[in-house]
Amino acid sequence: MNAAPSSRLRIAVLLGGTSPERDVSIASGLRVMLALREFGHAVTPVDPARGVMTEREIHTLLTAGVQREPPTKALLECLRGGALGPLLGTLPEVRDCDVVFNALHGGEGENGTMQALLDSLGVVYTGSGALGSALAMDKDLSKVLFRAAGVGTPDWMMAPADPAKVVSTLGLPVIVKPSKQGSTVGLTLVKEARAIDAAVALAFEHDDEVMLEEFIPGRELTVGVLGDDALPVGEIFPVNELYDYEAKYTPGMAREVFPAELTGAATTAIQARARAAFRALKLRGYARIDFRMAADGTFLCLEANTNPGLTNLSLLPQAAAAAGISFPDLCDRIVRLAMRATEEHR
């Protein structure tokens, strides 16, 4: 049973947008909308690419789900042409709300651009601020800050890079991915040197910076951070070789275990590293920190997700459930954390 909310709030949920993670964002945002409505709040979904959603659109989208592939570049370009941009702040649903729940994933919704706009409007919003969001989205900068904070991370290089040097420095296989994208969009696990250039070219289709990262064989672990607390650690077992876009958003393509089967000491260690990574990037509210556990037991941080997925298959809600936090309660807590952070800043 969910606890009764301390007050009924007017909440605008931002969802959709124009990034390759648009479909995931819609699924997350609509689930958040339903949860917050269940908690008694007045909630309006707003798509920065198209405006306020009607109840008819909501009903249609609730049955669509997340497709196996991200939206096409042509569709996203079309949406960008009609996006509201700074006009978003003229919508009374946004301008006059008590808090914005930012359920946008990737692109301008997660890289600090939307956060800066909301700051300029004086609007309270969930998640990290403009600086933290920008730092977390840039995987190159994130890894520099992880190491400065004593949080281990796999070795990496930035493109352009000679394949021979990549192999001699990072070894094979190697991960090639856009430096500022999420949901493994444009990511390739490269096993042969001759395939590196093609993987880099693919990643450049999704971003203007591309990272080549040492592949760490081992266990795939994730830690949610909610306020000052680290949630139960989760372990991911994808059907495919990688926990890719399809595995993340297609039922049956991955198995997640919460809490992960770790010793108490290992659990404490990885949760401490998650909190350290959270602080190093100046994050706030909530996030999800992803790790690999190498064969020798070392934890290596891959990245931080400032607006992690909140779909029915997503990892953060599973971590919260393992801690006894229902999804409506999780969403309400995220809202309250945003309001508390705003009050403390004033």
Question: pLDDT tens across 26-35, in order?
Answer: 999 999 999 9
Angle at which helix 196-204 crosses helix 163-170, to 10 degrees, equals: 100
Residue with tokens 């508390």: 340
pLDDT in tens, 119-140: 999 999 999 999 999 999 999 9
* Region class of 69: left (phi > 0), else alpha (psi between -120 and 50), else beta: beta
Amino acid, single-letter form, for residue 229:
D
For the whole model, what pTM was predicted? 0.91
Phi/psi of residue 5, nearest 5 degrees: -65, 150
pLDDT in tens, 293-331: 999 999 999 999 999 999 998 999 999 999 999 999 999
- 17 catalytic? Reply is no
Catalytic-role residue among 22, 31, 219, 288 = 288
Residues of the chain with CATH 3.30.470.20: 137-151+218-322
Report the SS3 class of residue 259. coil
Q: Which of 275, 276, 25, 17 is nearest to 149 (CA)?
A: 276
- 102 catalytic? Reply is no
CATH H-level, domain 137-151+218-322: superfamily: ATP-grasp fold, B domain (3.30.470.20)
Protein fold of 156-214: Dna Ligase; domain 1 (3.30.1490)
DSSP 8-state assignment for residue 125: B
Catalytic-role residue among 125, 243, 245, 249 = 249
The order of strands in the sheet holding 42-47 is 51-52, 42-47, 10-14, 99-102
CA 269, 275, 278, 283: dihedral to nearest 10 degrees? 170
Catalytic-role residue among 112, 284, 309, 314 = 309
Catalytic-role residue among 25, 305, 307, 314 = 305
Residue with tokens 């556990």: 293
Give the C-alpha separation, 25 to 203, whole Å: 21
Record the tokens describing residue 304, joined without a space.
């931080």
Catalytic-role residue among 108, 214, 220, 303 = 303
- 192 catalytic? Reply is no
pLDDT in tens, 209-249: 999 999 999 999 999 999 999 999 999 997 776 666 666 66
* Region class of 220: left (phi > 0), else alpha (psi between -120 and 50), else beta: beta
Residues of the chain with CATH 3.40.50.20: 10-127+326-345
Residues of the chain with CATH 3.30.1490.20: 156-214
Catalytic-role residue among 23, 246, 290, 329 = 290
Residue 86 confidence (pLDDT) above 90: no
- 249 catalytic? Reply is yes
Q: Which of 5-19, 40-54, 55-69, 166-180 has the lowest mean pLDDT?
A: 55-69
Catalytic-role residue among 128, 183, 307, 314 = 183
- 275 catalytic? Reply is no
Report the SS3 class of residue 158. strand
Protein fold of 10-127+326-345: Rossmann fold (3.40.50)
